[in-house]
Chain A
Amino acid sequence: MNTTDNIVPGQGDPTPLALKMAGHISLKELFLGFLKIGLLGFGGLAPVAHHVIVEDRAWLTEQEYASLLGLGQVLPGGNIINLAVIMGDRFHGVWGSLTALAALMAMPLVILMALALLYERFAGLAIVRSAIAGSAAVAAGLVIGTAAKILWKLRLSWIALVFAALAFTAVGLLQLSLVPVIVVLAPLSVGTAYMRRRP
């Protein structure tokens, strides 16, 4: 787990990542790494992305990975997709971004198409319909369970729980349009976080 012998020395030193990373990794390596992340990312990309980037390839230290992922999480869009874009750019500029992104999406899209074509071909069979109905019920439960787990783990402050409840009620129960809800709630919630942390 612990990679103390990282290629990048000096954890925590605030040197711009771009300098540290330059020239270390070829486009081909970048492509293969993110291809692997996409291919093995069953049930979420985060665990396998961490494994490949930090442990297997040692492209980033734990801390650098955490910072880049944090940035990817704050930005809209898939966390690991954002991570691929930013890491690709740090290594090889625009081409790095495009390479990492294409590699990340390639295998999942191929597998998805195979599943979709199988579904189209066999959707008429009762057994296939039943299997898909079962996994759809599971998928709903997975999403609910994941949200509950995050809530449980984070031990949010009461005010954060209020924002979570507001978002859930507005979109899940009242079925309001998402964009206005986010435009109102996100700045309020972020503003509150800033106010509470600042002494």
Chain B
Amino acid sequence: MKNHVLWQIALTFASLSLVAMGGANAVVPEIHRQVVGAHGWMNDATFAQLFAIAQAAPGPNILLVSLIGWRVAGMTGLAVATLAMIVPSSVLAFTVGRLVNRLADAPWISLTKAGLVPVAVGLIMAGGMVMARAAVHNLFSLGITIGAAIFVLFSGRNPLWALAGGTIISLLGLWLGLVK
């Protein structure tokens, strides 16, 4: 049974590794679809919580996947999920890195990027929607989400400030009895 779950974890994230354009945020909708929907490993609330914890830690945003692996199958799950997400894309990067030795004059990179960026941005926005659906339960949390979006949009400061601010506002809400 346990091996079965580990195998599913490996398969799920390895297949996402090679389509994660611009990192993990673009594949958040699919991770959510698989983890909450198809496999039923956790509910919306837990997913949103794990996403928040992953954001609070330093490092690449694929840590969400590590955390999901941990939640589903402990330390082994964490290792399997992390490796499944990293290894396929890294092997590709390694291979392409060797093929592309002359980087100073490689117009195909900027052209390919110009084509991939719009799709990636659309997917990241979709990821934000999925996250908001999971994390927003009332007007209070909606306000926090909108506030955080505005913070990123108009301030160049480290997003960690928004994370700290939102957490404090949420605690104030609890203290004042505004939310449960």
Contact = CB atoms under 8 A, between A and B. Distances in A.
A139 interface: yes
B81 to A, nearest CB: 11
Contacts of B1: none
A156 B119 CA distance: 11
* 10 tightest A-B CB contacts, nearest first: A134-B170, A108-B59, A141-B148, A77-B89, A167-B122, A172-B126, A145-B152, A190-B115, A138-B166, A144-B128
Given A105-B59, A146-B25, 17 more contacts: A44-B159, A71-B97, A72-B93, A73-B116, A77-B85, A78-B62, A81-B60, A115-B56, A135-B170, A136-B134, A137-B142, A137-B148, A138-B55, A142-B149, A143-B127, A144-B131, A190-B115
26 contacts: A41-B60, A42-B58, A67-B103, A75-B93, A76-B18, A108-B58, A119-B53, A126-B174, A130-B171, A133-B49, A133-B135, A136-B134, A137-B141, A138-B162, A140-B128, A143-B124, A143-B127, A146-B124, A147-B127, A154-B121, A164-B121, A172-B127, A172-B129, A178-B16, A178-B29, A182-B19
Interface of B: 15-25, 27-30, 33, 48-49, 51-63, 66-67, 70-71, 78, 82, 85-86, 88-90, 92-94, 96-98, 100-106, 109-132, 134-137, 141-142, 144-153, 158-160, 162-163, 165-171, 173-174, 179-180
